[in-house]
Homo-oligomer: A and B are copies of this chain.
Amino acid sequence: MERKTLRQDLDDVDRRLIAALAADGRITNAELAARVGLAPSTVHGRVQSLIQSGVISGFTATVNKAKLGFGLQALVGVTLAPGARQASITDFADHARAFPEVVQVFFLGGVDDFMVHVAVADSSALRTFVVEHISGHPRVASTRTNIIFDYHRSASVESFR
């Protein structure tokens, strides 16, 4: 009998494939197969399954923003005005993510409502961006800007989807 159900539990091989692809998204399927000790066609099928099931949601190039003229990065904590409704919250999130300066947006529970990771040219551009596009938003009550001196990422992550 054929099994039409999608594989739900990941085995050790899947985890190794995920780790290898997270470390190098352009590793060849042949190399991937050699590492886990399976045939290329088998590995190809597994990776396709991981993509289709959403465990791997995409592949991306990592870009050095400093070399593109965005040498200054910051984490901007944002508090919305009291009584902001759900519509206002998603509105701000959509507003923020539309700017090319915005790298990441975290929607938080706690003191801050959002944490916005931005990359800009210099401190002048940072001030302008925060004042005009974050503090300037009608629902924003306050912001706290923290300069990022250094940054490390272990793996690309997509959380809730």
Q: Which residues of A approach B to under 8 Å, CB–CB?
A: 10, 18, 21-26, 53-68, 70, 73, 75, 93, 97, 100, 102-112, 115, 117, 119, 144-161
Contact = CB atoms under 8 A, between A and B. Distances in A.
Given A55-B68, A60-B60, A150 B157 contact: no
A63 B54 CA distance: 8
Nearest to A47: B61
Given A55-B67, A65-B157, A93-B152, A146 B60 contact: no
Contacts of A68: 10, 18, 55, 157-158
Instruction: Count identical subunits in the complex.
Output: 2
A2 to B, nearest CB: 21
